[in-house]
Amino acid sequence: MNDTMAPTVKPTSRAALRRIEAGNMALCAHCDEQVKFAAKINRMQVIANVYVDGRWDRVEHFHDDCYVAAGAPYGEPSAPVNKVKTRSA
C-alpha cells in the first residue's frame, strides 16, 4: 500500500431505524407480513443493508418489534434522521 491510498474497509451489514412511509410494500423478513403505513400512527421499521463476503447482497425490512424478536441480526439500528422542513423564500 502506498501513502496516497486509503485502506479499504470491508462493508458489513448494518441496520437503521426509519419511519414507515406511505406506499411501502415491503415484507418483514421475520414474520413475512407487510410493513404497513398507518396515517395517524408514527410506526417505525428497521431497514438492513445486508452484505455477503464484503459485497452488497440485499435489503431486508423488519417491523421494529420483529427486529428485536429476531435478535437484532444486523446489530443495533442507527437512530432515525430528523428531517427539518424549511420553507422556500
**Domain-embedded: residue 2:** no
pLDDT in tens, 49-78: 999 998 999 999 999 999 999 999 999 999
How many domains does one find in the chain?
Answer: 1
- Residue 56 pairs in a beta bridge with 51
Range of the domain at 37: 14-69
Q: Tell me: pLDDT of 2 over 60.
A: no
pLDDT of residue 15: 95
**Domain-embedded: residue 89:** no
**20 touches 33 (CB < 8 A):** no
pLDDT in tens, 19-57: 999 999 999 999 999 999 988 888 999 999 999 998 999
Q: Tell me: pLDDT of 85 over 80.
A: no
**Domain-embedded: residue 9:** no
Q: What contacts 24+ positions apart, CB below 8 Å, involve 25-31?
A: 26/61, 27/61, 28/61, 28/62, 28/63, 28/66, 29/60, 29/61, 29/62, 29/66, 29/70, 30/62, 30/63, 30/66, 30/67, 30/69, 30/70, 31/63, 31/66
